[in-house]
Structure formats: structure tokens, C-alpha cells
Amino acid sequence: MFGVAQFDRNLQECRVGVVSTFSVALLLISGCHSKPDSMRTLPSPNKEIFYTVETSRGAGPVSNDYTSVYAHLSHGGKTTKQVVLSGEYIENATITWTSPTDVDICVLEGLTDTFRNQVTLITGDDPASSYTIHNHFREHC
């Protein structure tokens, strides 16, 4: 019986070691989410809707600048946001409202990871607390 108990203890120690090692590796790979280094706020024709362009600067030769464009709705004391566009080196993206529900997003350079051509922002149960925006991606504008 001594051999089986010793084996179980060694197995548990091995599992703890593997989990700890995996956790540290995951933390290093994913990095820590922090506030962006720069943020631009872009108003819309509707005072409750606005976009932000948030950029985190890379900290070395293998770390790229990363930018996310968010649509925000602030209604009835509640706020919500959704990512519209994200990618590397797109911090100079321009946003033009072509109507109260349509947006042109122009990206001159960079790499895009995410683009949503439609976002619906909801802050409550009543119809006035939801808003749908149609996004149009443009290059070389």
C-alpha cells in the first residue's frame, strides 16, 4: 500500500505543477489588460451614441500597436459598448457619420482582426434603449 499512496501523492504534486506552469504560460501569452495609451472620442448625430478609438502601444520590437474602435450607447443612466473594429496599426482610422444610423470607417493602413458591419447596443427593455448602427469599412479613402 505504501507504493500506491506515494504514487497518488506524486501524481497530485505533478498536477499542481502542470496547472501552475500552464497558468503562468497563459498569463505571459495573453498579457494583462490595461487602460489604452490613447483614446479619441467621436460624437454622433445622436447625443446618446459615440465611438471611441482606443490604442495600446507596443512595448518592444515584437509588440505591435493595437487599436480597437468601440460603439457606445449611454441611455437612462446605463451604458454599453461593443467592439466595431480592431487590429494592428489602425489608430489613424477615420469615422464619418453618413446618417444617424450609418457610419463609414476608413482605414488607410494596418491589419484588421475584427470588423462588425452592424452593432446593436441595448441598455434596457424599452425600445428607446436600443440602437442599431450600420458600419461600412472603407480602404484608401
Q: In what order do the strands lie in the sheet with 111-115?
A: 38-43, 49-56, 66-75, 78-88, 111-115
Q: What is the pLDDT of residues 36-78, one digit of tens each?
A: 888 999 999 999 999 999 998 876 666 678 999 999 999 989 9
Full residue range of the structural domain in which residue 1 is found: 1-32
Can you give the pLDDT at residue 58? Answer: 79
pLDDT digits (tens, 9 = 90+) for 6-24: 666 665 665 555 445 555 4
- Whether the pLDDT of residue 26 is over 50: the answer is no
Give the burial string for 79-93 (b: 16+ CB within 10 Å, else e): ebbeebbbbebbbeb
Same structural domain for residues 52 and 15? Answer: no
pLDDT tens by residue, 85-128: 999 989 899 999 999 999 999 999 999 999 999 999 999 888 88
Q: Of 88, 115, 102, 104, which is closest to residue 141 (Cα–Cα)?
A: 104
Note whether 92 and 59 are same-domain residues. yes
- Report the number of distinct structural domains present in the chain: 2
Residue 54 CB neighbours (<10 A) = 19
With vertex at residue 136, the alpha carbon angle to CA 135 and CA 140, rounded to the nearest 5 degrees, is: 140
Residue 132 sits in the same domain as residue 70 = yes
pTM beyond 0.75: the answer is: no
53 shares a domain with 25 = no
Domain shared by 25 and 55, yes or no:
no
